[in-house]
Amino acid sequence: MEPATNPRHDGTRPARVTAAMVAARAGVSPATVSLVTSGKTAGRVSAENIAKVDRAVNELGYVVDSLGSSLARGRSNIVILVAPDVSNPFFARVIDGVREEIGAGFQLLLSVTEAGRTPTLEVVRNLLSLRPAGLLVDAPSADFLAGLPAAGPMVLLDTAGVESAMPSVNLDVAGGAVMLADHLADLGHTTVAYLDGTTGTDTFRVRREAFCRHARERGIDVVAQAETTIDVAAAADAFDTAWPQWRRMGVTAVVCSTDTHAYGVLQEARVARLSVPGELAVTGFDDLPYSAASSPALTTVRLQAAELGHAAGRQLLRLLAGEDLGATADGHSLMLASELVVRGSTAGSPHGRP
């Protein structure tokens, strides 16, 4: 028998199946239905009633209403990831990491801020009114953090360059930049150019500043800079335009703020028949999958994207479990180590492709 539904012809939809309807059909109370659907039956509901409820749930296609449930419990089961830029493959891996970590018990939803802008307080305030189980905020600005209300469980990711007492997970891009500078210095480079990324996020500033500072200490002059969006083609264009001058300045290496930028440089270098690394060394940040397969393969600072998501999810789960992260061994702020991956674009056979 079908449950009673509102007629469709008048434009109304079938009535929502409620716990009360399930209870009526199963011949139990709504309280029992709740106990069964939330799995809290141990020592509280008889096997017989569990079976009756399960049957009714299936027959009616009942799904616990998230609104009612969340209101009663005081919080929902959604985890909101606030991010300025989701349209790149690096971030897709972060998302996957979070999803894997938080599991099916929580629902991951993304709030994408407008055109790469850093998240605003107003957006977060509205998000908080949804009573998310937790918030994950990627690349927050200092202003943003300063005005943040003392909200529920929240973990920051990618907070490069901003101070905060909130639990956070970061990529040690500065450490990676230092290794990169050392590597280039060891190879004897003294004159390099930097190809930066244009986004509102601080991580790029930190990469550049850390590299420039340490490069100088190691006797490397960063004689020129250019910047483009994270786009192979845009980077290729920028390099194409800048190269004649850079060459005149004696540039022997281009340090790129992302692998994507480096692909553009590599592409133009091939077109220009520049030998990499013989005439020009090229480096990136990220270690995207293709970086091991490019021609030549790309020397890059490996950033742990999926692990960034995993760690943030894990922190959040611990916060939800009521743990005081500040008191634990690994503290409330994690820094994921970067790794320098040396490949042919800086250290391969010097003249032309292998």
2 is an interface residue for a copy of itself by CB under 8 A = no
User: What distance in Å separates the CA atoms of residue 139 and residue 159, rounded to the nearest whole number?
Assistant: 5
Residue 145 DSSP SS3 = helix
29 is an interface residue for DNA by CB under 7 A = yes
How many other CB atoms are found less than 10 A from the CB of residue 238?
A: 21
- Strands 107-112 and 221-228 turn out to be unpaired
306 is an interface residue for a copy of itself by CB under 8 A = no
Chosen residue from 52, 91, 211, 246 binding a copy of itself by CB under 8 A:
91
**Number of residues engaging DNA in binding (CB under 7 A):** 32
DSSP state of 117: P
322 is an interface residue for a copy of itself by CB under 8 A = yes
Residue closer to a copy of itself (CB basis): 17 or 220: 17
- The pair of structure tokens assigned to 127 is 């998000």
Chosen residue from 52, 99, 208, 332 binding a copy of itself by CB under 8 A:
99
User: What distance in Å separates the CA atoms of residue 302 and residue 282, rounded to the nearest whole number?
Assistant: 15
69 is an interface residue for DNA by CB under 7 A = yes
Site string for a copy of itself, 49-68 (x = CB under 8 A): ------------x-xxxxxx
Residue 304 vs residues 96, 172, 210, 286, 308: alpha-carbon distances, Å: 12, 10, 19, 8, 6
User: What distance in Å separates the CA atoms of residue 230 and residue 286, rounded to the nearest whole number?
Assistant: 12
Chosen residue from 12, 65, 244, 350 binding DNA by CB under 7 A:
65
43 binds, among a copy of itself, DNA, none (CB under 5 to 8 A by kind): DNA
Chosen residue from 112, 320, 342, 347 binding a copy of itself by CB under 8 A:
112
Q: Which residues share a beta bridge with 226? A: 195
- The pair of structure tokens assigned to 8 is 């469709």
User: Do the Cβ atoms of 142 and 162 come closer than 8 Å?
Assistant: yes
Those residues with Cβ within 8 angstroms of residue 300's Cβ, 6 or more apart along the chain or in another chain: 259, 262, 283, 284, 285, 286, 287, 291, 340, 341, 343
Q: Least separation, in Å, of the C-beta of 7 and a copy of itself?
A: 13
48 binds, among a copy of itself, DNA, none (CB under 5 to 8 A by kind): DNA
Q: Least separation, in Å, of the C-beta of 33 and DNA?
A: 7
Residue 43 vs residues 36, 119, 161, 250, 288: alpha-carbon distances, Å: 12, 46, 52, 78, 51
Chosen residue from 25, 35, 313, 344 binding DNA by CB under 7 A:
35
User: What distance in Å separates the CA atoms of residue 170 and residue 163, rounded to the nearest whole number?
Assistant: 12
- The pair of structure tokens assigned to 157 is 């990711």
User: Do the Cβ atoms of 216 and 222 come closer than 8 Å?
Assistant: yes
Q: Least separation, in Å, of the C-beta of 52 and DNA?
A: 9
Binding piece for DNA, criterion CB under 7 A, among 58-66, 193-201, 265-273, 342-350: 58-66
Chosen residue from 24, 60, 121, 128 binding a copy of itself by CB under 8 A:
128
Q: Where are the beta strands (DSSP E) in 229-305?
A: 253-256, 281-286, 299-302
72 is an interface residue for DNA by CB under 7 A = yes
User: What distance in Å separates the CA atoms of residue 221 and residue 279, rounded to the nearest whole number?
Assistant: 17
Chosen residue from 7, 11, 61, 74 binding DNA by CB under 7 A:
74
328 is an interface residue for DNA by CB under 7 A = no
Stretch 276-305 residues interacting with a copy of itself (CB under 8 A): 290, 293-294
Stretch 145-184 residues interacting with a copy of itself (CB under 8 A): 149-152
Applying CB under 7 A, the residues found at the interface with DNA are 16, 18-20, 27-35, 37-38, 40, 43-46, 48-49, 62, 64-65, 67-69, 71-74
Chain residues that interact with a copy of itself, rule: CB under 8 A: 8, 11, 13-14, 61, 63-68, 70-71, 76, 78, 80, 86-89, 91-92, 95-96, 99, 107-112, 114-115, 125-131, 149-152, 231-234, 236-237, 263, 267, 270-271, 290, 293-294, 322, 324
